[in-house]
């Protein structure tokens, strides 16, 4: 797929280390330009490994964590304290261990805070309109074995959302069933979209996502491109390329 860069690594540890280095470097450079970079985090296991690696490296970085704004590409619509929450996982792995400014951490409202996933999507969209910069410096995305990214799943109505920043997702094939996700439109306003994928189980989805031909409806990860789009892979996830 043209305009997309693929960076391959021997194993998941090397992959996570390289992404962590590159992300810290990019955010430090943005701050050196006087900017307050906005980052979209993602959920999932390799994202968790990245968050822990970032926390390990924080002390040796010149990054001012209080001048980074954090969002999520998607969130599970469960209670705020539910271990399934992407935000809770990110706080435990990273955000609670570095000096973020709480005012710069924008979680999707939880199911014990608003009545419905639709209300959560509306509130999150309003927060992005009010506190977003109109683009992400970096949007991190995992990819599922079915080719989903964020909570944009193959064949789901959210793929067709227009004029919306975030929408509710129900009947997600990946539990839990109710979620909130940024739309394709919201995810395209990025200086960089960085996909990160590890393991043999992602190889077929990665190959479909990066093929010259294919359907976004069948492989939603095909549908997200930034000014720069990088696929950060270990060799197992890249094995079908
Ligand atoms: C979620 C994630 C989801 C995740 C992929 C990859 O809320 O579940 O945002 O999009 O990034 O499913 O997850 P793994 O890295 O755990 O396979």
CA distance 45 to 32: 31
Non-local (6+) Cβ contacts of 168 within 8 A are 77, 116, 117, 118, 120, 121, 158, 178, 179, 180
Burial class from Cβ neighbours inside 10 Å (0-12, 13-18, 19+) for residue 195 reads: buried
In the reported structure, the alpha carbon of residue 147 is separated from the centroid of ligand 1 by a whole-number distance in angstroms of: 10
Please state the atom number of ligand 1 nearest to the C-alpha of residue 179: 7
Please state the atom number of ligand 1 nearest to the C-alpha of residue 75: 7
Q: Give the pLDDT of residue 205.
A: 98
Please state the atom number of ligand 1 nearest to the C-alpha of residue 201: 17
Tell me the three state secondary structure of residue 214. Answer: coil
- For ligand 1, atom 10, the nearest C-alpha belongs to 150
| Cα atoms in the 13 Å half-sphere on the side-chain side of 88 | 12
The residues of the chain scoring below 70 in pLDDT are 1
Measuring from each residue's beta carbon to the nearest atom of ligand 1, which residues come in under 6 Å?
42-47, 74, 76, 86, 142-144, 148-151, 174
Q: Give the pLDDT of residue 94.
A: 98
CA distance 139 to 179: 18
Q: Give the pLDDT of residue 115.
A: 98
In the reported structure, the alpha carbon of residue 121 is separated from the centroid of ligand 1 by a whole-number distance in angstroms of: 19
Check residue 199 and give left, alpha or beta (phi > 0: left; psi -120 to 50: alpha).
left
In the reported structure, the alpha carbon of residue 32 is separated from the centroid of ligand 1 by a whole-number distance in angstroms of: 31
- The secondary structure of residue 72, as a DSSP letter, is E
Q: Give the pLDDT of residue 119.
A: 98
Q: Give the pLDDT of residue 194.
A: 98
In the reported structure, the alpha carbon of residue 33 is separated from the centroid of ligand 1 by a whole-number distance in angstroms of: 32
pTM for the whole thing?
Answer: 0.97
Domains of the chain, CATH where assigned: 5-234 (3.40.50.1360)
Please state the atom number of ligand 1 nearest to the C-alpha of residue 142: 11
Please state the atom number of ligand 1 nearest to the C-alpha of residue 46: 15
Q: Give the pLDDT of residue 3.
A: 83
């Amino acid at each position: 797929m043209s305009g997309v860069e693929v960076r391959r690594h021997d194993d998941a540890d090397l992959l996570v280390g390289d992404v962590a280095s590159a992300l810290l470097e990019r955010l430090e450079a943005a701050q050196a330009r006087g900017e307050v970079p906005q980052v979209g985090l993602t959920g999932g296991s390799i994202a968790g490994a990245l968050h822990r690696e970032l926390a390990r490296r924080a002390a040796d970085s010149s990054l001012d964590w209080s001048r980074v704004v954090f969002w999520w590409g998607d969130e599970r619509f469960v209670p705020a304290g539910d271990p399934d929450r992407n935000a809770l996982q990110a706080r435990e792995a990273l955000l609670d261990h570095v000096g973020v400014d709480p005012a710069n951490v924008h979680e999707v409202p939880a199911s014990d805070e608003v009545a419905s996933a639709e209300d959560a999507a509306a509130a999150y969209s309003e927060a992005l309109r009010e506190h977003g910069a109109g683009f992400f410096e970096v949007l991190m995305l995992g990819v599922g074995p079915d080719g989903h990214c964020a909570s944009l799943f193959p064949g789901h109505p959210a793929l067709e959302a227009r004029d919306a920043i975030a929408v509710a997702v129900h009947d997600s094939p990946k539990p839990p069933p109710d979620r909130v996700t940024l739309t394709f439109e919201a995810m395209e306003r990025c200086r960089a979209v960085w996909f990160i994928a590890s393991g043999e189980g992602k190889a077929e989805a990665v190959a479909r996502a990066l093929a010259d031909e294919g359907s976004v409806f069948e492989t939603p990860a095909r549908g997200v491109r930034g000014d720069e789009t990088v696929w950060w892979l270990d060799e197992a996830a890249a094995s079908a390329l």
